[in-house]
Amino acid sequence: MPERIPLARPNITQAEIDAVVAVLQTPNLSLGPKLTEFERAFADYCGTNEAVACSSGTAGLHILTRAYGLSPGNEVVTTPFSFVASANCALIEGAIPVFVDVDPHTWNIDATRIEAAVTTKTKAIIPVDVFGNVADMSPIETLARTHNLRVIEDSCEALGARYRGRPAGTLGDAGVFGFYPNKQMTTGEGGMIITDDGEIARLCRSLRNQGRDGGGGWLAHPRLGYNYRLSDINCALGIAQLARIDELIAQRCRVLSAYQTRLSGERRIALQRLTPEVEISPFVFVVRLADAYTQNDRDRILCELDDRGIGCSNYFTPIHLQPFYRERFGYKPGDFPVCEGLAQRTVALPFHHELTEHDIDRVCHELQALL
């Protein structure tokens, strides 16, 4: 039996291990110098004024919904084809996520349909850069200006991607990244908010730290906040990963391009379309089976691949069809047909920095045999 090929794996070198151990030899395990250093390095990498580290990408999204005052009575336009956190962050604050179906080719929110979803209650748009492919941000920026909406860019899957030359995460009022171990870089758990708005950054730093303000002391809490801090241990890991980010992304681009070459001409699947505006920073490698395949066919293929030692997954289950969204809002199959048709037919194949041509050939061979 050949060795199992995992779906994802982090890329950790001795530099990361040394950096973490060095922090453990100091007394500063949280709110120490590594936090400031990580935030500064991250802001420099993205070219923003501010970066605010937090305990996860989800925490970053939640902090921003608070910082922008999203609350009951507000609506937030977003995509149903995403990880559940991009809509949950609105719901947690009592704002209503309003879904707009996706483009059948780019798999991102269909910007041409957003305006029809905007009402007098709409306060923000949360576009998601799905699988590292940046959402069509120009029309979204125009709409946001016209209707006075905030844009929170969920770039958790797109660190290092660009849109018309501008970095993912910098295209709205604020952007969020996640550092779970399957992302382009990892801190174990962790996230980062980026923005040019110093006032929003100050508020985010307060919200992540129990509502404390700069000078008031440890037991002064002028506002309701959370403990969404990121420890200096995680930050040291993040600094070491960020120092290697160009290499990490280059490896992922190599793997993506090897898959694209290997599968070009395979008519039974489609790949995500990349428009000329976008430079992708690949997060996962997902193929969409042709319309002739059903969800059952797809699920059988996932089981069979797994049996043959190929790590795989569906990506994503539509957010509106998650049980608590159905119960609360009455969503049902058919509400967002493009998203659902896609989600029923996705197969995520192994994708990480260390995959060889030989691994990729084996994965594609097994997939094609099952097709």
Check: CB of residue 214 under 8 Å from CB of residue 196.
Answer: no
Q: Which member of 85, 111, 192, 278 binds ligand PLP (CB under 6 A)?
A: 85
- What binding mask, one character per residue, do residues 18-57 give for ligand PLP by CB under 6 A, x or -? --------------------------------------xx
Residue 183: active-site member = yes
Question: Which residue in 38, 45, 83, 325 binds ligand PLP (CB under 6 A)?
Answer: 83
Task: Tell me, rounded to whole angstroms, the distance of Cα 77 from its chain centroid.
Answer: 17
Instruction: Find all residues with CB under 8 Å of 229, minimum gap 6, and list them.
Output: 30, 31, 54, 55, 208, 209
User: What mask, x for binding ligand PLP by CB under 6 A, covers residues 232 to 271?
Assistant: ----------------------------------------
Q: Report the 10 Å Cβ neighbour count for 341.
A: 14
Q: Report the C-alpha gap between 52 and 38 in whole angstroms.
A: 9
Contact of 112 with 141, CB cutoff 8 Å: no
Ranges within 276-335 binding ligand PLP (CB under 6 A): none
Q: Largest alpha-carbon pair distance within the chain?
A: 65
Q: Using CB under 6 A, pick the residue from 107, 180, 331, 351 that binds ligand PLP.
A: 180
> Among residues 191, 238, 311, 350, which is the contact residue for ligand PLP, using CB under 6 A?
191
Does position 187 interact with ligand PLP (CB under 6 A)? The reply is: no
157 binds ligand PLP (CB under 6 A): yes
Q: What is the 3-state secondary structure (H, E, C) of 257-308?
A: HHHHHHHCCCCCEEECCCCCCEECCCCCEEEEECCCCCHHHHHHHHHHHHHC
- Could you say whether residue 153 binds ligand PLP (CB under 6 A)? no
Near ligand PLP by CB under 6 A: residue from 11, 48, 58, 346: 58
Q: Which chain residues interact with ligand PLP by CB under 6 A?
A: 56-58, 82-83, 85-86, 128, 154, 156-157, 178, 180, 191
Instruction: Just list the catalytic residues.
Output: 183
